[in-house]
Structure 1
């Protein structure tokens, strides 16, 4: 069985509907999404957006074609073609896209750190790089408040969660 990846052009904002309907028909598909931080109604939230809006990757066997079934799936407009020929996508491209989406989503997803009040952290970047501080509390989605000893005084300073890491006790 020689399954290949093909690209389906979907109706606007109906990629998830098309993916669900294809799944119900036993057809495997991949819809690459990335997480982004956006401000919605004054509040910072994490949302998922399509990496390629209106496009869906479909794995099917070209010889035992499910193309008519795919074209008639709710949410799908048509398969991407050059002239009359339906084009396939190399499997390595799909594998690389899956890895890319996984790594991007891990980095840009909810940047909360798993820290408790009183945990020791190391500052990784900036002018305080290498200093040790005490975790106080979360300061929004991407920042944390730390107690930092400066000039024999304990100061409360806000740092990006990407710039700190928990020290093992």
Structure 2
């Protein structure tokens, strides 16, 4: 999830804001109103509810939001008083801690700008993946074949035996 004005300056610092419980949407909206860009990488999970499988989006870092503060607007204290935000993370008293820009850049490469998981273009035979959706969610598998774009054949260890399955590439993530 992202909000706020999208800045073209890649040298501007990123900070980590701790959110109030249930404050993600409110924080993103109010930070955007103040002109801050925010980024929350999200992953899709499968949960069983009332006897059926549902897909839900969950934050990769629950309770935290990346916030870019433009150099021309270094009034980071206003972030602390934003609705939905508990505080900006400060490892030193009185000074917020900057997030390594390479970390944020790597997360943005791995996740689309709207925060959803962006699968690598090349899934290769022999790579290990984690199933993230469906009844096999959270199981590790090894790629056995990649016959067509969007589908892979995997080998799962399931109940003490190896089982073959065909999955969509959106249903797995690299480990």
TM-score range, shorter chain: 0.5 to 0.7
- Give the superposition deviation at 1:39: 1.3
* TM score, norm. by length of structure 2: 0.58
- Is 1:34 matched up with 2:43? yes
Q: Which runs of 5+ in 1 are unaligned?
A: 112-120, 128-158, 164-169
Match of 1:94 among 104, 117, 122: 104
Q: Which residue of 1 aligns with 2:20?
A: 11
TM-score where L is the length of structure 1: 0.60
Instruction: Give how far 1:67 is off.
Output: 1.4
Q: 1:9/1:104 Cα in 2 relative to 1: closer, same or farther (>3 Å)?
A: closer
Match of 1:61 in 2: 70
Query: Which residue number corresponds to residue 141 of structure 2?
Result: none
Larger CA deviation: 94-103 vs 3-12 = 94-103
Partner residue in 2 for 1:105: 117
Higher helix share: 1
CA contact (8 A) 2:152 2:166 kept: no
Please say which structure displays the higher CA radius of gyration: 1
Query: How large is the RMSD of aligned CA atoms in angstroms?
Result: 3.3
1:83 alignment counterpart: 92
Indicate the SS of the match to 1:3.
coil
User: Is 2:131 the partner of 1:125?
Assistant: no
Structure 2 residues not aligned, in runs of 5+: 1-8, 120-130, 135-146, 156-164, 170-175
